[in-house]
Amino acid sequence: MMVFKHFGSKMLNKIYNQPLLISTMEYIIILLVILLFTIFIEWKYKIHLYHSMKERIIVTLNIFVFGMMWDYYATYRSHWVFPGQGLIGIRIYGLPIEEFLFFLILPYAAFTMYKFYEKKVK
């Protein structure tokens, strides 16, 4: 199966049809790299996203619940699927554990980067 049959690029097909050495851990490794980078930025530049632990929990849970509802609906409607490549294989009600981590890590990273740029630009 050619991935890029419309473009006819043999080089891209050769690259993207090859299994990665870390293919089963790819998604979780990307999430962990983002998390570690974000923790470093928050620590180095003394970025404080929340005023209290209560606020941190409420904001995180709101984003997490909304994100997971959206993800479950989108997979139910077949807007996207998680075929297994790049996943470690642990699923909760059909969604890979990486998706749950995504909605915990990425909002934290986005808010941290926003505060970082806000602090650096001002």
Domain membership flag for residue 46? yes
Domain membership flag for residue 96? yes
- Asked whether 93 and 72 are in contact (CB, 8 A), the reply is yes
Domain membership flag for residue 102? yes
What would the pLDDT profile of 79-109 be if each residue is shown by its tens digit? 988 887 788 989 999 999 999 999 999 999 9
Which whole number is the average pLDDT over 54-58? 93
Domain membership flag for residue 16? no
The number of folded domains in the chain is 1
Domain membership flag for residue 9? no
| pLDDT score, position 84 | 78
Question: What does pTM read for this prediction?
Answer: 0.76
Q: Which domain holds residue 66?
A: 22-121
Beta bridge partners of 92: 95
Tokens 């209290």 locate to 52
| pLDDT score, position 3 | 39
What would the pLDDT profile of 3-55 be if each residue is shown by its tens digit? 334 444 444 445 555 555 557 888 999 999 999 999 999 999 999 888 899 99
Domain membership flag for residue 2? no
| pLDDT score, position 9 | 43
Q: What is the CA angle 42-103-49, rounded to 5?
A: 30
Domain membership flag for residue 61? yes
Domain membership flag for residue 114? yes
